[in-house]
Amino acid sequence: MQDTILITGGAGFIGSNFILQLLGRGSSSIINLDKLTYAGNLRNLQTVTREPRYEFVHGDIADRALVRDLFERRQPRAVVHFAAESHVDRSIRGPDDFLRTNVDGTFALLEEARAYWAELPEPDKSNFRFLHVSTDEVYGSLGPTDPAFSETTAYAPNSPYAASKAASDHFVRAYHHTYGLPAVTTNCSNNYGRFQFPEKLIPLMILNARDGKPLPVYGDGQNVRDWLYVEDHCEAIAAVLARGKSGETYNIGGCNEQRNIDIVQTICDIVDEVAGRAAAPRRSLITFVKDRPGHDRRYAMNASKIQRELGWHPRETFVSGLRKTVRWYLENEDWVRDVTSGAYRDWIATHYAP
């Protein structure tokens, strides 16, 4: 069997970082199946467009004929499934696409993967992997002194986004349990780094701080997230793909809990330093706005299983990762201009309307 990996959603934030890392380090060939929603951007992958080991296919994971054709034509040894609607605020304003892609789309992909896998000869059949990329949000919200989420924490999704990811996790689990599909699921905490669409906290704050615009902090700004540099997440996924045990789930996190307000203040200070002081320190742009409905208070991941069993550890510190990220957004004006055009402006105008 050829060393080919089918990646879904590879034009998005984490998927494109994963593809660049994999092509840079390994010898695998990659098929990137992406619908190119507002969050997908081929500019992220322009350095590998001519790479013979890389093929881009524009399409929907829910298009079963297309997915079937890809399996038959390219005979992948694994699927790494990133494709999703990923923004919590959008899921609150309009959950339909979240059901369509995250639940129906994952189901379609699982069905086609199962049909393909069932016909594989050994040892390809046992070696096949369906790696489902999921989130810590499926576990719900923690109180200030609760222990971090572990792989055995009960699911308690609170937003339509989290509910759709939880549903997809359950389907993956069921396909392993019922049909024996060699599946693994990763549940990761908040990522940050280059190529993240600036609807999410960190890039939104960097660009607004650069432009002297208000920095909208939801509620009291005391919500806590566990932040992980995107390249560390990609390395964790590669470790699970290489050595993860079929049927297992692995929690991934940075062991790096931060309050939103602290992150926004730090971003202001870094932008002041890198872009030069504006008339007033950028911290003065911080504006507390109406809270996100159902806003989860705290996430924290216990990543001891992947550390112990697969030897993965995050490399980047939050201080250095955040500085790199701020610099990247300030230095990549073309990328920023590309993604902050019409549809982006409409989202910002609607979502942050007073």
Per CB under 6 A, residues contacting ligand NAD are 8-9, 11-15, 33-37, 39-40, 60-62, 82-84, 86, 101, 105, 133, 135, 165, 188, 190-191, 197
Which residues neighbour 297 within 8 Å (Cβ) at sequence distance 6 or greater? 141, 142, 143, 144, 222, 223, 224
One of 136, 169, 232, 316 is an active-site residue; which one?
136
Residue 88 interacts, among ligand DAU, ligand NAD, none and using kind-specific CB cut-offs from 5 to 8 Å, with ligand DAU
Stretch 183-212: interaction string toward ligand DAU, x if CB under 6 A: ------xx---------xx--x--------
In the residue annotation, 3 being an active-site residue is answered as no
In the residue annotation, 344 being an active-site residue is answered as no
The C-alpha atoms of residue 139 and residue 158 are separated, in whole angstroms, by 9
- Binding residues among 246-285 for ligand DAU as defined by CB under 6 A: 260
Residue 255 interacts, among ligand DAU, ligand NAD, none and using kind-specific CB cut-offs from 5 to 8 Å, with none
* Residue 334: Cβ within 10 Å count: 8
* Cβ atoms of residues 352 and 216 within 8 Å: yes
* Cβ atoms of residues 168 and 323 within 8 Å: no
Q: What is the token pair recorded at 260?
A: 């939103």
Residue nearest to ligand NAD (CB): 12
* SS3 label, residue 217: strand
In the residue annotation, 333 being an active-site residue is answered as no
Asked if 87 touches ligand DAU (CB under 6 A), the answer is: yes
Residue nearest to ligand DAU (CB): 135
Q: What is the token pair recorded at 107?
A: 């189901």
The C-alpha atoms of residue 327 and residue 322 are separated, in whole angstroms, by 9
Residue 140 interacts, among ligand DAU, ligand NAD, none and using kind-specific CB cut-offs from 5 to 8 Å, with none
Which residue in 171, 163, 160, 54 sits closest to 114, CA to CA?
A: 171
The C-alpha atoms of residue 85 and residue 161 are separated, in whole angstroms, by 8
- Binding residues among 280-339 for ligand DAU as defined by CB under 6 A: 292, 299
Q: At closest approach, how far in Å is the CB of 126 from ligand NAD?
A: 26
- For 7, list phi and psi in degrees, rounded to 5: -110, 130
DSSP string, 105-138: IHHHHHHHHHHHHHTPPTTHHHH-EEEEEEEGGG
Gyration radius of the chain's alpha carbons:
20
* Cβ atoms of residues 130 and 78 within 8 Å: yes
Asked if 218 touches ligand DAU (CB under 6 A), the answer is: yes
Q: At closest approach, how far in Å is the CB of 80 from ligand DAU?
A: 16
Q: At closest approach, how far in Å is the CB of 242 from ligand NAD?
A: 19
Amino acid at 204: L
Q: Which is nearer to ligand DAU, 86 or 251 (CB)?
A: 86
Stretch 137-166: interaction string toward ligand DAU, x if CB under 6 A: x-----------------------------
Active site residues: 136-137, 161
Binding site for ligand DAU (CB under 6 A): 86-88, 135-137, 189-190, 200-201, 204, 216-218, 223, 225, 260, 292, 299
